[in-house]
Structure 1
């Protein structure tokens, strides 16, 4: 959790920071950027410690805090690393300090940590609000928020309205201090597919609201520490169960190897659970006496979090991509990052208008995840640099659906996109030809228009230095095969603005038939309105389209030769 990084001073990050590349900033810009990020971190701290609200994920916070520390090393190496301020409103002293739990990055680190240790247990790392419960003479006397680990807020009045928290205890628990997690109860929550769903925010909001006590009925309690309790873990778990805290025993497992830990972690990640989790906690049964517990100093307990479905990325540059119809899309080039098993370097964010609304420039930090089929997706802009260096988008008035049928320097990208479209499987199915291939062909053959390749001879292909003889022969054979494609496929290659369903049922088999249609004739076809009919007539009678149709006739393409 976030406070671990805060309280241990980011020591584990220093080795990474030392080798990081420093930005090429002037001293003035460095101060400006650091001040701005520092204010953002303070705002996140205030929301988290005073309101119990996580404005960003723990992973995002940790990385941005690490980024700030790196900049300190770059521009103020003699200065002590700045420690985060803990904006807690808590004034009540915890009888036993909350130590927090440090995070291990991977199975190798887990294996190293457990080496030589015995009596290990694994529990789910529940995503909720950490608290202290104090029982005296069998009565619940205090419920404190975690706060800064030493002091927290008094939530005792709320505790009496939460059915899941026992109000009286007997036996050894009658005079005990318990630490645990208040969480938002769920039915069959699958972490892998559903994610975090802001569970911590829900729990914190319920505890901090003055009204709506009904929300407290939706809260549960998971006890993960009983300082100075029984030394035997099995005995401790059973006593907690009998006292009214059954979840601890139900979700604690003894382990002896990293493989067992990994298997449980993976199982709980995929299985339906009664709470939201963000990893697992590995602990030794033997703990020091509670009087020795200090924030950030627990050596007997560690966390191994789940991989984040979202990653933070730095924007390297903003690039504009023009599609075959002239639509301009904005692509963010990112410093490479790993999400699951996929390396992500680029993310498409849509139109120029959307990009302008998001206000993204090089140097900004954005949160990225994988959508369906592993496609990178922009989720959020986390932080913006002060100096906004943004490129100028293409002039929209130079882009049109009928443009770039013929090559022009200014529309190189759209021209290549048109060639890539017509060679795709759903159109002319020219196999083994990518956008890169078309760029090479255009560079060496100076294609005049989108169908010029039909007139290219085999000898011309073999003379291109970057294309092998075998590949030249393959391309030649593929170009020849396109001549056997039906008339409707060539209409697709043109980009005729006709709905797919209408195209499949089109009665016309000759270009001359299409050219003879007027707007009224087009509107007789199902799904063709007045606006679409007008576009079709304008497209077919456009001078460049008519010229291309004549070229296809000269090449003997079926449907373009006058019958």
Structure 2
């Protein structure tokens, strides 16, 4: 009796918890627990109800699909219920599913099933929001969320904004009424771009692509949804009679313009399904969208009909889920690491927990602003997310589980490595003749390269593959060099002797000679590689390439004023000041001088590329001084009137006030600017630098012959045997191409090496030109002349 009472009480607790999580997940789009936690609760409830079937009630979560429609949208009744799928978390459960399918078919009254072969249709399980889209006479008439499976929400206006959802079906042969079902999701790159825009606007970023997709679909203003990078993938239809199998049905839908998964495959056995699961799992992080498993469906529709449904799910399909990518655990402590630029970064130390098939005990917290945004405290229960090879991160605090013993996270006042002072970076905002200091997100150790942590990280970056590419200098070797005080700066690498290297742990005659040879071979990098290798804060590979192309030499880059750098594409105010500050630092100047004396010389120095010749304007030059009341139009009128910088500074009040369509306030502001001490000298220095660099508006712009692959986007996939991926990318970029990481309708060409995967399939679907490695090498050799 006590046992029954205890079970009944636990069932009520589980139902209440599940209903609460359902409301947060489906209605508020703000899940409070990861999927793995929800699955555990649901499976426990189902197990208890199996043991005590008399305690099952009609309103139990196991008897219906979760979720309730939102009150703010018109409700829609599904003619055919939208059911969820049963889940498997181990291969044995999938094999049990297949055995149940075969036994059920053999027991069917029609002898056909006792001999018929069972095929399975396989596809990834997208992590998005399930929707139903209806077409009448081939025209989209309604779209709805799944809701509780019986009743959903009318989101027609929002779904109409999704670019890959056809407003009118293509081809012919579609039925008068057609309802398709699938997943609305947000691709990984689109999610990253969206969060970048959200952060730039000062708003709270989305936790993951699924939340972003769900929130986008539930916007009351469809104009907002239209700005979100949503996509739709169809996984089925409630309309009968389109074909004899599930896979054939999806192919028919594809012919009518409905997007289906490019990973869709039909397997002859459940063993092949398990191989499919393993293959997708191996490529999971390279897919352009998030998935949490794969779905296996009996392919023959007549077999599906025979197998039928349970109360909550079909008997002919199962979702085989991957290891959870989110888990709840305890934040035990927060420690601080020091990076190559001196950034002091908080790192979460966690109670070990399995996430995504890996035991996780550490997670990134990015910076103290992120700590404040999350509101995380030591001792909190937190949700940890791990997507593929991405460093685990804390995405949320479970406030309902916070104890009274939590402690705040505090930044150290002294570097945990060298003991030097830790200071918060200051951002300089310049506008309209004034500058405002504000706190930056980064705290830095002021010990510079006297701090062993900064030195080691700086050296590792300097020798990395995309920088100076010195093979054989790994983390352990760098650590020995620093610890034994053989290297105190990147320049010291080029002073190493055979006698010093041979004494390091793990080195013998051949390996020591090979390392010294690799160091010697790195003395002739491209200018862009050298700039990137220096580790200038906020200067990545692309910015380094811009500096190299636009200025042409290390000497010009070292001398460039921030105002000169601002003319260059993709270089903003803060990055310009970071670059100028780096090269004005005495220690950095000393290291660069030493590198040059040791014959580390870029092989491609010369004049700036022709398109940067004379591309500045006098109007832009005037506008750059942020004179109050002098915006672009007024600057243009001043430039047209005075024609030169000298003439502007020679102007008096009478000359300024006589200029057509310049206000009295603007004229007074310009006069005050001219009269300020040092302004003329600064302006003349800037102008002289533009002249020296060939960027001045008086310099004749050279005729530029476009590179042969300008405005083309190429994608590399698979393994290349002759070239490394980096070498292939560099050669394409020198020919003017942009090298992207994913295939889209805008892709010009795909280079497919050995073992090419989903990118090749996507290219073939879009009829994009595909070259194998031999064809690619022949093509670029021809273009390089």
TM-score of the superposition, structure 1-length normalised? Answer: 0.50
For the structure 1 residues 341 and 58, does the alpha-carbon distance in structure 2 shift closer, same or farther, using more than 3 Å as the test? closer
For the structure 1 residues 320 and 143, does the alpha-carbon distance in structure 2 shift closer, same or farther, using more than 3 Å as the test? closer
The yes-or-no answer on 1:367 pairing with 2:384 is yes
The yes-or-no answer on 1:110 pairing with 2:94 is yes
Matches of 2:127 and 2:208, distance apart in 1: 9
Find the counterpart in structure 1 of residue 84 from structure 2.
100
Counterpart of 2:69 (choices 76, 79, 88) is 88
CA drift at 1:100: 0.9
SS of structure 1 residue aligned to 2:134: strand
Counterpart of 2:234 (choices 214, 223, 229) is 223
SS of structure 1 residue aligned to 2:89: coil
Matches of 2:183 and 2:388, distance apart in 1: 31
The yes-or-no answer on 1:176 pairing with 2:191 is no
Map of 1:99-498 to 2, 5 A cutoff?
Answer: 99-115=83-99, 117=102, 118-163=118-163, 164-168=165-169, 170-171=172-173, 173-184=175-186, 198-209=208-219, 210-212=221-223, 215=226, 218-227=229-238, 228-229=240-241, 230-247=243-260, 250-269=262-281, 270=283, 273=287, 275-287=289-301, 288=304, 296-314=312-330, 318=332, 332=349, 334=351, 336-339=352-355, 342-344=358-360, 358-361=376-379, 364-367=381-384, 369=386, 378-385=394-401, 387-390=403-406
Matches of 1:378 and 1:167, distance apart in 2: 43
Q: Is the 8 A contact 2:128 2:183 kept in 1?
A: yes
CA drift at 1:346: 6.6
Matches of 1:400 and 1:149, distance apart in 2: 55
For the structure 1 residues 333 and 119, does the alpha-carbon distance in structure 2 shift closer, same or farther, using more than 3 Å as the test? closer
Q: Is the 8 A contact 1:361 1:388 kept in 2?
A: no
Question: What CA deviation, in whole Å up to 9, does each residue of 1:71-111 have, x standing for no partner?
Answer: x99xxxx9989956733236321011011112210223222
Matches of 1:254 and 1:386, distance apart in 2: 48
Q: Is the 8 A contact 2:126 2:183 kept in 1?
A: yes
CA drift at 1:215: 1.8
For the structure 1 residues 141 and 348, does the alpha-carbon distance in structure 2 shift closer, same or farther, using more than 3 Å as the test? closer
CA drift at 1:383: 4.5
For the structure 1 residues 293 and 360, does the alpha-carbon distance in structure 2 shift closer, same or farther, using more than 3 Å as the test? same
Question: What CA deviation, in whole Å up to 9, does each residue of 1:158-197 have, x standing for no partner?
Answer: 444545234357535322332222334678999xxxxx98
Find the counterpart in structure 2 of residue 538 from structure 1.
none
Matches of 2:253 and 2:388, distance apart in 1: 42
The yes-or-no answer on 1:50 pairing with 2:24 is no
Q: Is the 8 A contact 1:189 1:276 kept in 2?
A: no
Q: Is the 8 A contact 1:365 1:382 kept in 2?
A: yes
For the structure 1 residues 380 and 294, does the alpha-carbon distance in structure 2 shift closer, same or farther, using more than 3 Å as the test? same
Question: What CA deviation, in whole Å up to 9, does each residue of 1:201-233 have, x standing for no partner?
Answer: 343344332142672795443221223333333
For the structure 1 residues 48 and 276, does the alpha-carbon distance in structure 2 shift closer, same or farther, using more than 3 Å as the test? same
Question: What CA deviation, in whole Å up to 9, does each residue of 1:333-376 have, x standing for no partner?
Answer: 62x433456434577979999699622327x344264998x986
For the structure 1 residues 181 and 313, does the alpha-carbon distance in structure 2 shift closer, same or farther, using more than 3 Å as the test? same
Question: What CA deviation, in whole Å up to 9, does each residue of 1:122-163 have, x standing for no partner?
Answer: 012123321122334544433221111110112234444545
For the structure 1 residues 186 and 367, does the alpha-carbon distance in structure 2 shift closer, same or farther, using more than 3 Å as the test? closer
Matches of 1:251 and 1:103, distance apart in 2: 20
Find the counterpart in structure 2 of residue 410 from structure 1.
none
For the structure 1 residues 176 and 182, does the alpha-carbon distance in structure 2 shift closer, same or farther, using more than 3 Å as the test? same
SS of structure 2 residue aligned to 1:212: helix
Q: Which has the higher contact order (CA 8 A, sep 6+)?
A: 1
CA drift at 1:240: 1.5
Matches of 2:292 and 2:298, distance apart in 1: 20
For the structure 1 residues 503 and 491, does the alpha-carbon distance in structure 2 shift closer, same or farther, using more than 3 Å as the test? farther
Matches of 2:152 and 2:490, distance apart in 1: 68
Matches of 2:401 and 2:289, distance apart in 1: 37
Q: Is the 8 A contact 1:44 1:54 kept in 2?
A: no
SS of structure 1 residue aligned to 2:35: helix
Q: Is the 8 A contact 2:250 2:260 kept in 1?
A: no
Structure 1: stretches of 5+ with no match in the other structure? 1-16, 19-26, 191-195, 404-421, 427-484, 493-498, 506-524, 529-563
For the structure 1 residues 58 and 120, does the alpha-carbon distance in structure 2 shift closer, same or farther, using more than 3 Å as the test? farther
For the structure 1 residues 129 and 216, does the alpha-carbon distance in structure 2 shift closer, same or farther, using more than 3 Å as the test? farther
Matches of 2:248 and 2:79, distance apart in 1: 23
Matches of 2:245 and 2:347, distance apart in 1: 60
Find the counterpart in structure 2 of residue 22 from structure 1.
none
Find the counterpart in structure 2 of residue 59 from structure 1.
35
Give the total of aligned pairs: 375
SS of structure 2 residue aligned to 1:98: coil
Q: Is the 8 A contact 2:125 2:293 kept in 1?
A: yes
Question: What CA deviation, in whole Å up to 9, does each residue of 1:522-543 have, x standing for no partner?
Answer: xxx9759xxxxxxxxxxxxxxx
Structure 2: stretches of 5+ with no match in the other structure? 1-5, 103-117, 193-205, 338-343, 420-451, 457-479, 494-584, 589-785
For the structure 1 residues 491 and 180, does the alpha-carbon distance in structure 2 shift closer, same or farther, using more than 3 Å as the test? closer
CA drift at 1:378: 4.4
Matches of 1:128 and 1:253, distance apart in 2: 21
SS of structure 2 residue aligned to 1:171: coil
For the structure 1 residues 391 and 490, does the alpha-carbon distance in structure 2 shift closer, same or farther, using more than 3 Å as the test? same
Q: Over aligned residues, Cα RMSD in angstroms?
A: 5.8
